[in-house]
Amino acid sequence: MSSGTDLLSQLNETQAQAADHFTGPALVIAGAGSGKTRTLVYRIAHLIGHYGVDPGEILAVTFTNKAAAEMRERASHLVPGAGGLWMSTFHSAGVRILRAYGEYIGLKRGFVIYDDDDQLDLLKEIMGSIPGIGPDTTPRTIRGILDRAKSHLMTPDDLERVPEVYISGIPRESAAEAYRRYESRKKAQNAIDFGDLITETVRLFKEVPAVLDKVQNKARFIHVDEYQDTNKAQYELTRLLASRDRNLLVVGDPDQSIYKFRGADIQNILDFQKDYPDAKVYMLEHNYRSSARVLTAANKLIENNAERLEKTLKPVKEDGHPVHFHRATDGRSEGDFVAEWLTRLHGEGRSWNDMAILYRTNAQSRVLEESLRRVQIPAKIVGGVGFYDRREIRDILAYARLSINPADDVALRRIVGRPKRGIGDTALAKLMDWARMNGTSLLTACANAAEQNILERGANKPVEFAQLMQGLSDAADAYGPSAFLRTVMDASGYLDMLRQEGQEGQIRLENLDELINAAEEWSQDNDGTIADFLDDAALLSSVDDMRTKTENKDVPEEAVTLMTMHNAKGLEFPVVFIVGTEEGLLPSRGALTEGPSGIEEERRLFYVGITRAMERLFLTAAENRMQYGKTNAAEDSRFLEELEGHFDTIDPYGQVIDYRAKSWKQYRPTVPARPDTSASVAVKNTSPLTAGMAYRGGEKVTHPKFGAGQVLAVAGTGDKQEVTVHFPSVGAKKLLVKFANLSPA
């Protein structure tokens, strides 16, 4: 095991100084890939190994649960005893604190956590009756207002007093009223939402100093990664936690602040020295991640932001490959281009795991997935509709929630008709009225449906439902998570319902099997009840879902990663493709309407994307893009110009062409024709199979030994032209055309 000093020798000088920082506030501010996260982990290991700090007194806050788990693992490799660290996201930390001490501020035991969809369900229910909120207002709009208010620690009263008369098109009084009603309904259902995990913890710390003191004992040394993306509420939480011992070390990069739309405030990191005048500041100036050419492109880009703190970031690595740009005719050929390169690089020995495709919005993933599927490249999609967002999973978890929290009306309304149990909309409306009048839950109303004559007809149905839930509630206390979930699926009649649904039901049944597996695996790592499992499931962020999905048997071990640039924050891949570098996508349409600050945020996002690449970076755009069901001519992103030519534009075969040519198809080489003209086959548009065997990709061919196959990728020209062909018999093969003896199929 390394001794304390050995550890620091694995860092550069400034990193080592930061990692050796013992007490008091400190700020590590540096560009992408400069080793901020690495320094943070080493600092933790050094605190334990060298300064003898008890791991039970160390807290590290990261952006995702996955990052937290990785950090714990990395620290444990560096020093023994690091397993006992408290590493989590702000939200997970909030859950842990509120589960332990929430009762001090009136939270009832067994509260449930409402996710985004639950919030929408609840808002749908209340917003119709609020004056000033018209039928064309979506629950999402209101949710956006509420979430932002919470991230700024604003109460409904605060919202009512903002200077703007309208907020997202809604009168501020109406927005405040929606907020008020939403809060009271949520409270009645013994639920809290994501925002509350932070704001309620802040309230707890402010109202009950004794609790703060207790929690501070477990957080004498506090670390926050990605500090540039904290919002006001998280800032306040951090400030309170650090207020006693003042051992707070934060790391971040203002150029990577990309969550303004969720209330993140770049000012938090810029003001750190104001808040802590005695803070030590460490600036890291060397990038260890990216090849020099990738880094130059990134630096060029970000220099265009006016509002920025200038930093130095010098490459440690060699030049490496040029950055490549390709403009495809449309989204589909963009996808095919990416697929070809993936295949080619895989053929050269790269693992699929080493490659990632990044995009601006989840909606872009579908076309890419299809391109990859056509040539059988394994892919894992991070974000989008994740495992825990699937209907059947949410249904079963709603049963589970209602079992442990009978007040959860949102859950009840979700599942009372799945499967059908003869409780119609009219009956439900009556039950709801009765519950509201009597100040009880919907489940209590069900239990009393007959006795209290709430329903004239069919009152036994709700009573039976209440009895089912009573039984499940007992089971929740008696069984472990996986056995309990199995009971829910069975006793509720849910499995029977799916069994009658044919093909689609079959897929859903398999997903439910997977849920039981997930609960089983969770129990192997955790010692907790179904309530704890539900907390963890609710807190899985879209990035954490990656783990869930890779464990899912449908996803192969080795796969290319597809995700948004937002989700890629903090990660790195040897090969990165950034697709859709077009006006309206990157920068996004929404940002274009926001003016300069919107553009600057998008530029930071692109900067995050570029700096994920370690060795190779490909940028692509399409000339025509289908969006919202319509195909429109697309324009290159303004950000491409800003790279000042620090990339090579290539045609589908990898040949470098002139960037200014509007399209590679119109491009004609001005240099004297090469001895072999197959490079310009695409321009001449001759049939590929008659023009001296010049392939374009996609052709069906036959090989004397491997049989029928399809050309996936083409590289080189003339005698050196190589093709990658997929043969169902043997898989992908790379062949020199000249010798391959291929014939058209």
Choice from 14, 37, 64, 564 touching ligand ATP (CB under 6 A) = 37
Residue partners of 451: CB distance under 8 A and separation at least 6 = none
* C-alpha span between 574 and 612 (Å, rounded): 8
Residue 34 in the binding site for ligand ATP (CB under 6 A): yes
Angle of the 391-404 helix axis to the 460-478 helix axis, nearest 10 = 80
Instruction: Indicate which single residue of 36, 43, 344, 625 sits in contact with ligand ATP (rule: CB under 6 A).
Output: 36
List C-alpha distances in Å: 301 to 296, 494, 568, 602, 637: 9, 53, 18, 11, 12
Catalytic residue among 14, 15, 37, 64: 37
Half-sphere exposure of 145 (CA within 13 A, CB side): 30
| Known catalytic residue at 408 | no
Looking only at the bridges linking them, the beta strands covering 355-359 and 324-330 are unpaired
**Does 12 engage in binding with ligand ATP (CB under 6 A)?**
yes
- The residue (of 48 and 608) whose beta carbon lies closer to Mg ion is 608
> CA 362 from chain center: how many Å?
10
**Could you give the angle at the alpha carbon of 722 between the alpha carbons of 719 and 724, nearest 5°?**
160
- According to DSSP, the β-strands at 166-167 and 560-564 are unpaired
Q: How far apart are the first and last CA of the chain?
A: 61
To the nearest whole angstrom, how small is the minimum distance from the Cβ of residue 38 to ligand ATP? Answer: 3
Question: Out of 20, 36, 118, 395, which one is annotated catalytic?
Answer: 36
Q: Which does 34 bind (CB under 5 to 8 A by kind): ligand ATP, Mg ion, none?
A: ligand ATP
The verdict on whether residue 188 carries a ligand-binding annotation is: no
Residue 37 CB, nearest approach to Mg ion (Å): 3
Distance CA 634, CA 618 (A): 19
H helices of 190-312, where? 194-207, 209-216, 232-242, 267-270, 272-275, 292-302
Residue 49 touching ligand ATP (CB under 6 A): no
Nearer of residues 284 and 725 to ligand ATP, judged by Cβ? 284
Contact set with Mg ion (CB under 5 A): 36-37, 570
Which range, of 26-34, 376-384, 464-472, 706-714, touches ligand ATP by CB under 6 A?
26-34
User: Is-contact 322 647, C-beta < 8 A?
Assistant: yes
Whether 32 has a binding-site annotation, put simply, is: yes
Q: Which is nearer to Mg ion, 287 or 371 (CB)?
A: 287
Rg, the chain, Cα only: 29
740 is in an annotated binding site: no
Min dist. Cβ of residue 284 to Mg ion (A): 11
- List the one residue from 33, 49, 331, 709 that touches ligand ATP (CB under 6 A): 33
335 is in an annotated binding site: no
Query: Is 289 near ligand ATP (CB under 6 A)?
Result: yes
* Distance in angstroms (rounded) separating the CA atoms of residues 716 and 726: 18
Contact between 315 and ligand ATP per CB under 6 A = no
Q: Per CB under 6 A, does 565 bind ligand ATP?
A: no
CB of 571 to Mg ion, least distance (A): 9
DSSP letter for 585, please.
B
Query: Would you state the structure tokens that stand for residue 206, as one six-digit string?
Result: 């402010």
Residue 644 CB, shortest distance to ligand ATP, in Å, is 23
Is 595 labelled a binding residue?
Answer: no
238 binds ligand ATP (CB under 6 A): no
Nearer to ligand ATP, 572 or 648 (CB): 572
Tokens of 589: 């349409």
Token pair in block for residue 614: 């370690």
Say whether 37 is catalytic: yes
Cβ distance to ligand ATP smaller for residue 11 or 149 = 11
- Counts for the chain of helices (H) and strands (E), in that order: 32, 26
Q: CB nearer to ligand ATP: give 195 or 570.
A: 570
319 among known catalytic residues: no
Which residues in 250-279 contact ligand ATP (CB under 6 A)?
253, 256
- Residue least distant from ligand ATP (Cβ): 35
Neighbours of 121 (CB within 10 A): 15
Q: Is residue 32 part of the contact set for ligand ATP (CB under 6 A)?
A: yes
Q: Look at residue 72 and give the partner it binds from Mg ion, ligand ATP, none, a contact being a CB closer than 5 to 8 Å depending on partner kind.
A: none
**Number of neighbouring beta carbons within 10 Å of residue 333:** 19
Shortest distance in whole angstroms from residue 224 CB to ligand ATP: 13
229 scored as a contact of ligand ATP (CB under 6 A): no
Question: Min. distance of Cβ 212 from ligand ATP in angstroms?
Answer: 30
As a whole number of angstroms, the distance between CA 132 and CA 355 comes to 49
Check the annotation: does 33 bind a ligand. yes
Residue 574 binds ligand ATP, judged by CB under 6 A: no
Structure-token match 């979930």, residue found? 485
Q: Which of 385, 387, 365 is nearest to 562 (CA)?
A: 365
Q: Do the Cβ atoms of 290 and 613 come closer than 8 Å?
A: yes
CB atoms within 10 A of CB 672: 6
Which residues have CB under 8 Å from 6's CB, separation 6+? none
Binding site partner of 253, from Mg ion, ligand ATP, none, Cβ cut-off 5-8 A by kind: ligand ATP
* Residue 355 makes contact with ligand ATP by CB under 6 A: no
Output b/e per residue, 560-585; b: 16+ Cβ within 10 A.
bbbbbbbbbbbbbbbbbbbbbbbbbb
Annotation says 225 is catalytic: yes
CB proximity list for 729: less than 8 A, separation 6 or greater? 706, 707, 709
As measured in angstroms, the least distance from the Cβ of 248 to ligand ATP is 18
Q: Count of alpha carbons within 13 Å of 720, Cβ hemisphere only? A: 7
Which among ligand ATP, Mg ion, none contacts residue 389 (Cβ within 5 to 8 A by kind)?
none
Residue 263 vs 570, nearer CB to Mg ion: 570
Our finding on whether 11 is near ligand ATP (CB under 6 A) is: yes
106 is in an annotated binding site: no
Minimum distance, C-beta of residue 225 to Mg ion, in the bound complex (Å): 6
Distance of alpha carbon 577 from alpha carbon 565, whole angstroms: 11
Between 36 and 346, name the residue whose CB sits nearer to ligand ATP: 36
Decide: 58 and 12 in contact? Cβ < 8 Å.
no
Segment near ligand ATP (CB under 6 A), from 36-44, 201-209, 415-423, 681-689?
36-44
Q: Which of 184, 180, 186, 170 is nearest to 131 (CA)?
A: 170
Q: Is the dihedral of CA 563, 566, 572, 573 positive or negative?
A: positive
Does 288 bind ligand ATP (CB under 6 A)? Our answer is yes
Which of Mg ion, ligand ATP, none lies near 190, with the C-beta cut-off 5 to 8 A by kind? Answer: none
Asked whether residue 81 is marked as a ligand-binding residue, the answer is no
Among 25, 35, 335, 462, binds ligand ATP (CB under 6 A): 35
User: Which span sits near ligand ATP by CB under 6 A: 10-18, 92-100, 334-342, 473-481?
Assistant: 10-18
Residue numbers belonging to the annotated binding site for ATP: 30-37
Bind-site residues: 30-37
**Which residues belong to the active site?**
36-37, 225-226, 256, 612
List residues binding ligand ATP (CB under 6 A). Answer: 11-12, 15, 30, 32-38, 253, 256, 288-289, 570, 572, 611
